[in-house]
Structure 1
Amino acid sequence: METSLHTMDSSCNAATNHWGNNSHFHDSPSYAHNHDNLHHGTLSLTSILLIVIPIILVILLASVIILIILLRRQKSAKCNSLSRNSTNIDDSSKFDSHTTINFTGSPEVKNGCISGGSSRRTSQCRFRGVQVFTYKELEMATNNFSKANVVGHGASGVVYRGVLSDGTVAAIKMVHRDGKQGERAFRIEVDLLSRLNSPYLVELLGYCADQDHRLLIFEFIPNGSLQQHLHSPHIYPQPLDWGTRLRIALDCARALEFLHEHITPSIIHRDFKCSNILLDHRFRAKVSDFGLAKMGSDKINGQISTRVLGTTGYLAPEYVSTGKLTTKSDVYSFGVVLLQLITGRVPVDTRRPPGEHVLVSWALPRLTHREKVMEMVDPTLKGQYSQKDVVQIAAIAAVCVQAEPDYRPLMTDVVQSLIPLVKNLSSAPSTSSRFLSTMVSPRSQRSSFSLH
């Protein structure tokens, strides 16, 4: 028993000595080395994080900046593309494709530029080559707006003949700013004509919105207005021959066809009349003065309600009575112009006998009778015309001035009816070739616009 206890004590002492010797384990050199390595590893990781994190943040920030720059460039390129597309409209001689525009907004004039008013407008001051002029430049072009350079005047403004700095001869219209209507007319013409390009519309070269001045710069049309040729023999003593009248009718029909049926939404001129039809050096017609123009309805023959504006004698009866405006309102006005080309009469003339004061009311019952049509023909033509052509033009005029707008034709149909008549002119002897080859008289150089 004692031996066993002694053995157990010896074992316990040995174990105690063993663990006692191990009590110095933490103070051993090996542990100290491992502990220092762990501490240094922790410091090294912290240092790496302090270096890497700012680098990552810088890279992210640079990436964001680069992305913003790329997006802005892409947006700018898209805007430029839209600007080019909105102004790159076909010259309308073929009318192969339709054009969508927006122009009825009310743009603001800032720093001489017209901005806003259209979802397609950019912040630039140029559209399809339309320039922005200062008032000083136009003063120089017109010799300080000399009375000697006046070529037309009327309710909407005075038109001067001017020579621009590049030598271009231009018609410079100083717009009367009589209230909101004058300002609206100015803005509409700039916004509309800067986007439309057709050989049958007068070209807008530029505009001036310098302080309170409002001026429009057009291409100069040397042979005055149809109004002057038909009704002002003191200005143009040589009457228009029948062939020239037919060509003018077709040019005007093409102009309205372009506005009504090749623009989306359609555009209603609202003031189509002889004084707004100008004749170039070849006596080809160009339609002018879009200050009263309105955008039509998206629906076929859709109506829009508006104030009754325009010229007495040319206004469609339903528009006068209800204020409802459609493209057929322009068709009626075109019919009145056809009657003027046939008869040489003005739309309203109180100097004539009772029953003949209003051209449409007097002519309409006669237009379907060949003999009566022949009696209506302008006496200045002196019988130099095709009776068959006159009857056909009278028939077209008759349907255009129908009281019921639904009975009036589309301008495309009118164009197709007029084309064969004009083509036949080349195969028939006419005085038109002699007339068209005459030089423009000096007096006509002073009669580019008539603004009644």
Structure 2
Amino acid sequence: MRKERVKQDLRVEIASCERALKVFGIEEVNRATGKFCPGKRIKGSVYSGEFGDRVFAVKKMSREIDISLEVNILMKINHFNVINLYGVCDDGQSLYLVSEYMEFGCLKDWLKRGRKGGEEEGGIGWEIRVQIGLDVANGLYYLHNFTKPAYVHQDIKTSNVLLNSDLRAKITNFSLARSAAAARDTNVTVHLVGTRGYMAPEYVETGEITPKIDVYAFGVVLLELITGKEAVLVARNEKGGLEEALTSYVDANMGETGVEMALPLFRLSLACLRRESETRPNMEEVVSSLVKILTDLRRLRSFGDDSSTDRSVIPLRRGSRNENDWSVETASW
């Protein structure tokens, strides 16, 4: 009876989406995906589909899963850094979400492939990585502050960040998202959901859900952008200092300047990963910091590839004695 009730609710939800979303027929979906042939498979249950002159991603979903909340959220969201849902399909046996196609796949796989995103030296590579981080931060800033109601994604991780052909990032998979207001009303969850390694301490210990759990998960994503490794929490080297601790963790693809460029990002990630949620920055502050880091990177690159350039004349922000200070205004290069 429960399964039948879920099916009925889904049909009602999809029907209510008809004005905002296209409802595809299964014949159209089968034709676009070659009846879900292996050659069209992107990953898991996601396939590419050619709908006329456009390519979309088609995700096949079990009817056991209630997707009504995710569809409802994506209907309301219109932001460059959040995946765009174009339509749905229900053939009576399975459900299908039709969304924009992201040519470079998920950030997790992109990091595994070790793409540098440009020139051999670290400058361009860092710009791409910081821009990806900024895209994710902008998406979360929008979810936390400009949607009605405000949402907590609750499952931010590199496999839920997709990259388009320009290596611009968009947040996907809203199956665990909840409104911030609803989360406050039901502060304790029956069981934990999410991904180990990305869960904030307060969520693991008490089930507390606030936007700060997304900030914590973003801190892990930022570390992965720096290191090129999966969900690695880099412990601070008390004896050798921050620079020495970073040397063995920064992605080797980033060249000799890797550690130097990583310092501001590393400080910001540590701030997002603070144990006490109230001491973490909010996403507006994270966005502001990443904008400043990206601006400095571009200014540094504008001095050219001349190795004789005296960096002491470049007006970068000079260092703080407090290595845990996340503010870019006091970041050390």
Does the pair score TM above 0.5? yes
Aligned 8 A contact 2:47 2:57 in 1: yes
The corresponding residue for 2:187 is 304
SS where residue 251 of structure 1 aligns?
helix
Q: 1:368 to 1:395 in 2, by over 3 A?
A: farther
Q: What do the CA deviations read for 1:141-163 (whole angstroms, capped 9, x no partner)?
A: 1011101100011xxxx000101
Q: 1:344 to 1:384 in 2, by over 3 A?
A: same
Rg larger in structure? 1
SS where residue 47 of structure 2 aligns?
strand
TM-score w.r.t. length of structure 2: 0.79
Please tell me whether residue 412 in structure 1 is matched to residue 284 in structure 2. yes
The corresponding residue for 2:14 is 114
Aligned 8 A contact 1:221 1:281 in 2: yes
Distance 2:228 2:130 in 1: 14
Distance 1:293 1:380 in 2: 34
Structure with bigger helix share is 1
Q: 1:372, CA displacement in angstroms?
A: 1.6
Q: What do the CA deviations read for 1:318-377 (whole angstroms, capped 9, x no partner)?
A: 111222211111100000001111111212xxxxxxxxxxx22x4356697233223321
Long gaps (5+) in structure 2 = 1-6, 118-124, 303-333
SS where residue 248 of structure 2 aligns?
helix
Q: Choose the corresponding residue for 1:271, options 150, 155, 161.
A: 155
The corresponding residue for 1:139 is 30
Q: 1:405 to 1:302 in 2, by over 3 A?
A: farther
The corresponding residue for 2:76 is 195
The corresponding residue for 1:392 is 264
The corresponding residue for 1:336 is 220
The corresponding residue for 2:19 is 126
Q: Choose the corresponding residue for 1:161, options 48, 59, 80.
A: 48
SS where residue 371 of structure 1 aligns?
helix
SS where residue 135 of structure 2 aligns?
helix
Q: 1:416, CA displacement in angstroms?
A: 0.6
Aligned residue type for 1:139:
N
Distance 1:206 1:291 in 2: 16
SS where residue 425 of structure 1 aligns?
helix
Q: 1:298, CA displacement in angstroms?
A: 7.4
Distance 1:404 1:107 in 2: 43
RMSD of Structure 2 on Structure 1 (CA) = 2.5
Please tell me whether residue 204 in structure 1 is matched to residue 85 in structure 2. yes
Q: 1:238 to 1:206 in 2, by over 3 A?
A: same
Identical aligned pairs, as a percentage?
33
Q: Choose the corresponding residue for 1:326, options 185, 196, 210.
A: 210
Please tell me whether residue 175 in structure 1 is matched to residue 61 in structure 2. yes
Distance 2:219 2:208 in 1: 19
Q: 1:384, CA displacement in angstroms?
A: 4.2
Q: 1:124, CA displacement in angstroms?
A: 6.0
Q: 1:334 to 1:217 in 2, by over 3 A?
A: same
Paired residues, what number?
288
TM-score w.r.t. length of structure 1: 0.59
Aligned residue type for 1:160:
Y
Q: What do the CA deviations read for 1:115-157 (whole angstroms, capped 9, x no partner)?
A: 5xxxxxxx56121xx211122211111011101100011xxxx
Long gaps (5+) in structure 1 = 1-105, 116-122, 348-358, 431-452
Q: 1:379, CA displacement in angstroms?
A: 1.4
